[in-house]
Structure 1
Amino acid sequence: MSKNSRFKSGFTLGGEQAEADPLLADAFYESGDYDVIRSKEDPRCFVIGRTGAGKSAVFQRIEEEIPEHVIRINPEDLSLPYITDLQVIRYLDSLGVNLDLFWIALWKHVLLVEIIRHRYSVNTPAAKQSFLKNLRERISKDHGKEAALGYLDEFEGRFWCETEERVREITDKFTRRIDAEVEGGTSGGFVSARAVASTGTEASTESRAEQTERFQRIVNDTQLAKLNKMISVLDEDILDDQHFTYVIIDDLDRDWIDERLANDLIRCLFRTVLDLKRVRNLKVVVALRTNIFQELDFGKKSGGQEEKFRSLVLHLRWTRADLQELLDERVKASAARTDVAATSMGDLLPHANKTRGNPLHYMLERTLMRPRDAIAFANECLGVGIGKTRLTWQDIHNAERTYSAKRLLALRDEWKPTYPGIDQVFAKFRGCSGRMDKQEFQRRLDEAMLLISEPNFPGTDWLKDLSSAMWSPGKDSTGFALYQPLAKLLYSVGLIGCAVRSSRAPTFYLDDPLFADSESNYEQCEYFFPHRMYQAALNVKAGNTETTN
């Protein structure tokens, strides 16, 4: 690097989030996972990854490359908060009415109409009529398909409106059917769904059972038959090789929906995508955060389709080589915009030596092998090194303190929707040893479990559930029964790794996601390690730490 080529505040490796990343277009790294998502032949369509793993970046890249073939469905445009907040919906849910068929019909309608609008540029009443006329002429000999087109006629002037308006119309129509059933009820004990929902009045057991049965019939009487026929029309008469279409759905993990119904809605979206696999020139791709995917209950309500769902899952994973290439590409792109003469991370970092090792490996060992972590650490280092021509080891160590603190806060933000107050559990490991023996580890778990006795702790429900064996131990309770549930959580989120007696190196979730599930593994674990990414933030005691991840 030239002596005059000093780091300036404008020299960074880009943003940590795709929507605020100025280098994404110039330095996008096409990993093998990107190739899978982009592939028309590969059936995997559920993209699962931790926050910061690159899900949104992949989608944004596809949109930029082939915009004429991509439809993006934004959850914010679906009026889902409006739907789940309806008193009738909430009441049906409280009665135990299975709303799956309604949710599936809703998703199919949204996707079907968006694809047709995109394919034929249907944005006016005249465009809709022209599209329907031409399509009817092509399928005039197939009465089943022709009848299915009547479904689209039902929306009259709403077809070309915004998605939000159409979703609300379908929901309002469903609500009116429920109201009509209530008003037409003859049972003397029948109570209006709206009245019960708004006043809290309890109906008798008999009348609740009657309501559940009658409302379930309405839910089951959806227009799925016509919608399914329209899917055949979509496959055979609308989409062809020249009009291969990607539908991408992201941001389902945002906190914009009632948690009681969120899992059902997402699970039914997965079922809808599975049904749409028979459309040959269509690929619907859904991105979901790992912790939300783990919460989906496929087993109970998905008709034995869990195995099918999981066969279509792509877990985003990055290797050290992937991240190194990604950072090198970003160095080139950023250097081209500045007067910094660098072509790789190696040009910015101190030289490797036998005592300290490889500086890039040191940095990547303090990530969860995600692009966001690697970019964030590199940017912290560059911020510390402003005015220099090359970073020093001391610069990396100084940057690590700030970086580690921010990553711990990010870990809290990632998991607090599912586990409110989890940061207070993390805090119980402040000042711990870099290599905790089982006694120290379980003592700190004991302290964490006692948080449920604190009146302002927001996570009493989930923590009580994970520590239930501790509060009601049986005579044969093992260490596994008492401590494994909470230990597994800390292992799964990436805070803690563990090592069995026969191994010097700890195992982390990235190495083996199922390791903490095994009783024999837990019993054999001798040492527990806070991940290097969080050690500076937790003031972990130096010495006796692992030599490798």
Structure 2
Amino acid sequence: MAKFKLRKSYQVGSPDAETDEYVLNAFIKIDNLDEILDTKNQKSILLGRTGSGKSAIIKYIKNTQENVCVIEPEAMSLRFLSNSTILRYFNSIDVNLNLFYKVLWKHVFIVELLKMYFDENLNSFKQKTFFERIKEKISKDKKNFSRKERAVKYMETWSNDFWQQTELLVKSFEENIQRKFADSVNIDIEAIKLGLSDEKFRNESFVYEAKNKAESIISNSQVIELLDIIDIMKTDLFNNHQKKYYIVIDDLDREWVEDSIRLDLIGAMIDVIKEFRQLLGVKIIISLRENLNEIVFLKHEHKGLQREKLKPLYSNLSWNEKELKNLIDKRLKILSEDQFNVKEAFYEERRGHKKGFDYVLKRTFYRPRDIISFLNHIIENSNNKAYFTNDIISKAEPSYSLDRFQALEDEWNENYGKISYLCNFLKGSHNGFNLKSVSEEKFADIYLEDKYKDFFRGDLKKAVNDWKSDLINFQSFLKKVIFILYRIGIIGVKKGPSFQTAFYYSKEILIEKSDISNNSKFYIHPSLYSYFKVNVIDQLPDDYEQK
């Protein structure tokens, strides 16, 4: 029996990698790490749900690899884009700004890669020696020398601006677009600064001309020069896999710029990282939350962003039982200075000769954050015990279950809004319920009260509005609700008697909207049993239809 005693103040880590003191010492190398670090491998986008270990991998890369540039979105100071009168006007007349944002990212990535390659500071880049070194590199390519020389001259022309901070670079680029646009449509630049509020700037013929000219100006702004610079980098600088260079970007889900622009910038970035795959030894790695990725694609479906084409870039984060067990084992050993581990912590067996760790794991979404959170709740209830008794685990479950639900609501708020207002119908329900067992009365408040329309977003808001407007009946509305709750992870779906219950996170059986039928049974995820006070006994056939 372990002698180590568990104090209430102990923890096995923090919910987020930024503040988690154990994140590097207890790091577990899952398969995603190898494919992300491999510069020959296309996988560049770490895709996962909240708490799946994306930031931990980014932190590991920053601390273990030689040439790593970290781009922090908040530090880029791009909030001024939200107040740009010319960009607001372009948006209002539906100008495709995707190329504008792509040029910005290309410029940022080129600058950071060249700075790493020559291993110099910002000031020394402005010196002539830098350009001389590039010219020396390209002089060997007689066939393409003149074109490459033009690209170097472009960098020299911009030498004071080319290496400057992103915020200044973007402002300079925006002002250049603004000036060219004003000249092309023969208007005073002051009119643009005043927001183009005059009615003549809104009439159909002017808008048609303005849109075409704006898109033409953006298309021709620095694009050719940047392509030539990338070509120099490809043939003369980054031309072998021996020396590795990484650009890593995390925290894209934070409020670093106004929402609609943020989605445009992320969509453009995803498109741009493909173009840098031609540079050997180079990898641009971005960390992206699954729900944010969905919103980006929904917004950019009409702008050329296609899932199928970009699929090879995604590294989908997933964990198995062994990896999560190793994660907790390492953390318990660090906490106890090697006096305590998973085997000793879950010494007591549960009913059916099952281990407590299996019980805990079943109540997670197989993500590090879930299991770390549950362990912290358990330790808080341990009262100087030497191991986690079944009673301690049971006492910890209600607070953990509440935390999980709140975390799910926060995670999917951008997609669906306040799901807590929708989920009351699940409280006190039986597992294995079906569509017929859910009465319309349980949604009466949502149907009758107008205030609820402001609580929801996206597909959920549309489903509520369609039902309230009698565009769909209650049964159709309920199917949409169930599918959304399945997508979030709250509900698992059993398509029929011969099928297993499928939860979205497991990816073993993917459920389509058409699978939500009268033959389906629905099961609440075990992590939420306590929160919803679920009767875990399957609902009997006679109980399916409520009286």
TM-score by length of 1: 0.89
- Which of 402, 405, 424 is matched with 1:405 structurally? 402
What is residue 332 of structure 2 aligned with on the other side?
Answer: 331
CA, structure 1 residues 173+243, in 2 after alignment: closer, same or farther (shift >3 Å)?
A: farther
Between 1:144-153 and 1:509-518, the stretch displaced more is 509-518
Give the partner amino acid of 1:255. Answer: E
Between 1:537-546 and 1:49-58, the stretch displaced more is 537-546
Q: Deviations over 1:501-549 (max 9, x none)?
A: 3147521112348744242x22254321221112212233353389xxx
Structure 2 unmatched ranges of 5 or more: 541-547
Residues 377-388 of structure 1 mapped to structure 2, 5 A cutoff: 377-388=374-385
Give the partner amino acid of 1:302. Answer: G
CA, structure 1 residues 384+89, in 2 after alignment: closer, same or farther (shift >3 Å)?
A: same
CA, structure 1 residues 8+133, in 2 after alignment: closer, same or farther (shift >3 Å)?
A: same
- Which of 67, 70, 73 is matched with 1:72 structurally? 70
- State the 1:250 CA deviation: 1.1
- State the 1:272 CA deviation: 0.5
- State the 1:89 CA deviation: 0.7
Give the partner amino acid of 2:34. Answer: D
- State the 1:465 CA deviation: 1.0
- Which of 65, 90, 93 is matched with 1:92 structurally? 90
- State the 1:201 CA deviation: 8.2
- Which of 419, 437, 447 is matched with 1:450 structurally? 447
Q: How far apart in 1 are the matches of 2:532 and 2:336?
A: 35
CA, structure 1 residues 461+110, in 2 after alignment: closer, same or farther (shift >3 Å)?
A: closer
CA, structure 1 residues 398+233, in 2 after alignment: closer, same or farther (shift >3 Å)?
A: same
Structure 1 unmatched ranges of 5 or more: none
- State the 1:281 CA deviation: 1.5
Give the partner amino acid of 1:540. Answer: V
Q: How far apart in 1 are the matches of 2:245 and 2:457?
A: 46
Give the partner amino acid of 1:328. Answer: D
- Which of 161, 174, 189 is matched with 2:164 structurally? 161
What is residue 104 of structure 2 aligned with on the other side?
Answer: 106
8 A contact 1:428–1:447 mirrored in 2: no
Q: How far apart in 2 are the matches of 1:384 and 1:289?
A: 32
8 A contact 2:453–2:461 mirrored in 1: no
8 A contact 1:529–1:545 mirrored in 2: no
Q: How far apart in 2 are the matches of 1:15 and 1:138?
A: 48
CA, structure 1 residues 456+295, in 2 after alignment: closer, same or farther (shift >3 Å)?
A: closer
Residues 386-535 of structure 1 mapped to structure 2, 5 A cutoff: 386-441=383-438, 443=440, 446-447=443-444, 450=447, 453-454=450-451, 457-459=454-456, 462-467=459-464, 469-471=466-468, 481-503=476-498, 505-512=500-507, 515-519=510-514, 521-523=515-517, 525-535=519-529
Give the partner amino acid of 2:288. Answer: L
CA, structure 1 residues 543+448, in 2 after alignment: closer, same or farther (shift >3 Å)?
A: farther
Q: How far apart in 2 are the matches of 1:267 and 1:179?
A: 28
CA, structure 1 residues 10+483, in 2 after alignment: closer, same or farther (shift >3 Å)?
A: closer
8 A contact 2:490–2:524 mirrored in 1: yes
What is residue 314 of structure 2 aligned with on the other side?
Answer: 313
Q: How far apart in 2 are the matches of 1:157 and 1:191?
A: 27
Q: How far apart in 2 are the matches of 1:284 and 1:225?
A: 22
What is residue 245 of structure 1 aligned with on the other side?
Answer: 245
Q: How far apart in 2 are the matches of 1:173 and 1:445?
A: 57
**3-state secondary structure, aligned to 1:536:** helix
CA, structure 1 residues 122+82, in 2 after alignment: closer, same or farther (shift >3 Å)?
A: farther
Q: How far apart in 2 are the matches of 1:299 and 1:457?
A: 26
Give the partner amino acid of 1:408. Answer: F
RMSD after superposition:
2.8
**3-state secondary structure, aligned to 2:538:** coil
What is residue 260 of structure 1 aligned with on the other side?
Answer: 260
Q: How far apart in 1 are the matches of 2:199 and 2:8?
A: 59
8 A contact 1:13–1:378 mirrored in 2: yes
Matched, 1:371 2:373: no
Q: How far apart in 2 are the matches of 1:47 and 1:448?
A: 40
Q: How far apart in 1 are the matches of 2:370 and 2:49?
A: 11
Matched, 1:544 2:538: yes
8 A contact 1:83–1:89 mirrored in 2: yes
Matched, 1:147 2:150: yes
CA, structure 1 residues 88+450, in 2 after alignment: closer, same or farther (shift >3 Å)?
A: same
CA, structure 1 residues 451+43, in 2 after alignment: closer, same or farther (shift >3 Å)?
A: farther
Q: Deviations over 1:28-64 (max 9, x none)?
A: 0001111211222221111110010000000100111
Q: How far apart in 2 are the matches of 1:291 and 1:227?
A: 32
- Give % identity: 26
TM-score by length of 2: 0.89
CA, structure 1 residues 448+414, in 2 after alignment: closer, same or farther (shift >3 Å)?
A: farther
Q: How far apart in 1 are the matches of 2:73 and 2:199?
A: 30
8 A contact 1:494–1:508 mirrored in 2: yes
CA, structure 1 residues 478+470, in 2 after alignment: closer, same or farther (shift >3 Å)?
A: closer
- State the 1:124 CA deviation: 4.3
**3-state secondary structure, aligned to 1:246:** strand
- State the 1:429 CA deviation: 2.5
Q: How far apart in 2 are the matches of 1:200 and 1:62?
A: 53
